[in-house]
Amino acid sequence: MPELNCSLAALVMTDAAVVSDRGCPEIAVMCGMNVSWLLAIATEKDLKELCLSEKDYLTLQLGPTKSPRFLPVCIGYLVVFMVGVLGNSLTCTVILRYKVMQTPTNYYLLSLAISDLLVLLLGMPLELYEMQQNYPFLLGEGGCYFKVFLFETVCFASILNVTALSVERYVAVVHPLKVKYLATRAHVKRVILVLWGLSMLCAVPNTSLHGIVLLPPRFGREFPQSATCSLVKPTWMYNMIILISTLAFFAVPLLIISILYLIIGLRLHREKVRNMEAANGSFGPGSLSNSHTQRLSKRNLQVTKMLCVLVVVFSLCWAPFHVDRLMWSYMDRESVQHQVIFETVHIISGVCFYLSSAVNPILYNLMSTRFRERFGHITCHSKACPARSHFKMNQRSTLSEEVQNSKKWT
């Protein structure tokens, strides 16, 4: 096909040029355009866009259909996916399978693991699909709502579970006499259901602002292939919701968590000093009781350290996510420099977002003896596995400790 001449001079040629093999007017006539109207109001930019194919025009307006960073991001995501799905599945199995692991603290960890599995099994494939094909969005308006609703819900559920977990630790350490009333399994289950319900409810406002967006008609042509899942309501509404959700579901909870763990740390330090003084000055019948108190204090210290590290890692992984949302809300989208910075922040926030869903089981394995032993017991199938005998011995000691605790409460 002869090369098209898209200059303004080609459009003001004689009528013979309109039906010749050269010049944009022929394309305009084929598309049903009014050439005289075009000549009257067209700009140089209009003339350039007029002669673009639909694919080139969509690329000009929306960028390439496939993200240039798709391959390295995909490889990283797949590694996170395999580690996260395996680790969180093991966490759920351990808590549901072993009665001794069904503590109030571990129920919150179970809820957090379910949230992470939803992110990895449903959220990650959707994001990879969008990176591989930025447009058109083929899942329709329902798929767009589901995608936004899913990410909002797990975002809110995760921080609420971590906050509730910190409150439970605070009650267990600072107010141990209230544990049997406030940290029963039934009570924790009700709290978790309320947290998930609240998360779903709070996810509705942002979800309602999104929908399928098409490029406006141009040159008498429509562009159904330009469908994207994006913001359809006024930007100020989105900015307000993002600011409120960042404060209510990230900044304020982290402040509360920090204060709680500071109080827990001070209490555990006083207990440690008291236990050391009691151990040095007690050699009579009360030494057995002191030994039991020291074991409980040591157990509280281990669990608190694990959860404290979990909170720190959680906040570090989720901070880029909220920075990304705030930056998109308030940046100058016409600025090329801002766009470049935002693209980098967006990639980092995505990696950290999914990394937070995979790192928790690794922390449990590194910092919790109970989780490490149960993980080893499930993954080791050989009869000669050295972890089995150690696991059984620890299980007997754990059961014995629980019997003593139950007698103490009775």
pLDDT band at 298 (very low <50, low <70, confident <90, very high): low
- In a shared domain, residues 354 and 397: no
Both 187 and 71 in one domain: the answer is yes
Burial string for 355-375 (b: 16+ CB within 10 Å, else e) reads bbbbbbbebbbebbebbebbb
Residues 27 and 175 in one domain: no
346 and 387 housed in the same domain? no
Structure tokens at 127: 């994001």
Q: How distant, in Å, are the alpha carbons of 120, 243, 246, 305, 315 from that of 250?
A: 21, 10, 5, 21, 8
Classify residue 133 by its DSSP letter: -
Residue 1, in any domain of the structure: no
* Backbone φ and ψ of 312, nearest 5°: -60, -45
Query: Would residue 365 count as lying in a domain?
Result: yes
Q: Is 80 exposed, middle or buried (0-12, 13-18, 19+ CB in 10 A)?
A: buried
Q: Do 405 and 281 share a domain, yes or no?
A: no
Three-state DSSP state, 99: helix
Helix (H, G, I), strand (E, B) or coil at 198: helix
Give the number of other Cβ atoms within 10 Å of residue 132's Cβ. 13
Would you state the pLDDT for residue 26?
Answer: 46
Q: What percent of the chain has pLDDT over 90?
A: 14
42 pLDDT band, cuts 50/70/90, is: low
In this structure, the number of other CB atoms found within 10 A of the CB of residue 223 comes to 18
Domain check: are 287 and 331 in the same one?
yes
- Domain limits at 22? 8-51
> Do 39 and 172 fall into the same domain?
no
Specify the higher pLDDT residue, 338 or 395: 338
> Is residue 281 predicted with pLDDT exceeding 60?
no
Query: Residue 273's CB: how many other CB atoms inside 10 A?
Result: 10
Distances (CA, A) of 318 to 36, 86, 295, 405, 406: 56, 21, 34, 38, 39
pLDDT tens-digit series, residues 244-256: 999 998 999 989 9
Closest CA relative to residue 143, chosen from 214, 70, 229, 230: 229
Residue 57 forms part of a structural domain = no
370/149: higher pLDDT: 149
Same domain, 73 and 210: yes
Nearest Cα to Cα of residue 105 among 407, 398, 370, 380 = 370
Contact 377, 387 (CB under 8 A): yes
Q: Where are the alpha helices (DSSP H) in 368-385?
A: 369-379
With a cut of 50, say whether residue 402 has pLDDT above it: no
Two structure tokens written together for 134: 């930025």
Q: How many domains does the chain have?
A: 3
pLDDT of residue 209: 92
CB-based contact 245:158 (threshold 8 Å): no
Confidence of residue 403 (pLDDT cuts 50, 70, 90): very low
Contact (Cβ atoms closer than 8 angstroms) between residue 29 and residue 216: no
Residue 212 covered by a domain: yes
Same domain, 352 and 397: no
Q: Which helix (H) or strand (E) holds 228?
A: strand 221-231
Task: Assess whether 30 and 93 both reside in one domain.
Answer: no
Is 246 exposed, middle or buried, given 0-12, 13-18 or 19+ CB atoms closer than 10 A?
middle
Identify whether residues 31 and 116 lie together within a single domain.
Answer: no
Is residue 361, in this structure, part of any structural domain at all?
yes
The answer to whether 330 and 239 have CB atoms below 8 angstroms apart is yes
The predicted structure's pLDDT at residue 205: 93
Cis-peptide, bond into residue 104, ω within 30° of zero: no
**Residues 8-43: b if buried by 16+ CB within 10 A, e if exposed:** eebbeeeeebbeeeebbbbebeeeebebeebeeebe
Structure tokens at 88: 């969180």
398 domain-assigned = yes
Residue 397, pLDDT score: 43
- Half-sphere exposure (CA, 13 Å, Cβ side) for 269? 6
pLDDT digits (tens, 9 = 90+) for 81-91: 999 999 999 99
Give the pLDDT mean for 83-106.
88
Q: Give, as one character, the DSSP assignment of residue 249.
A: I
263 and 164: one domain? yes
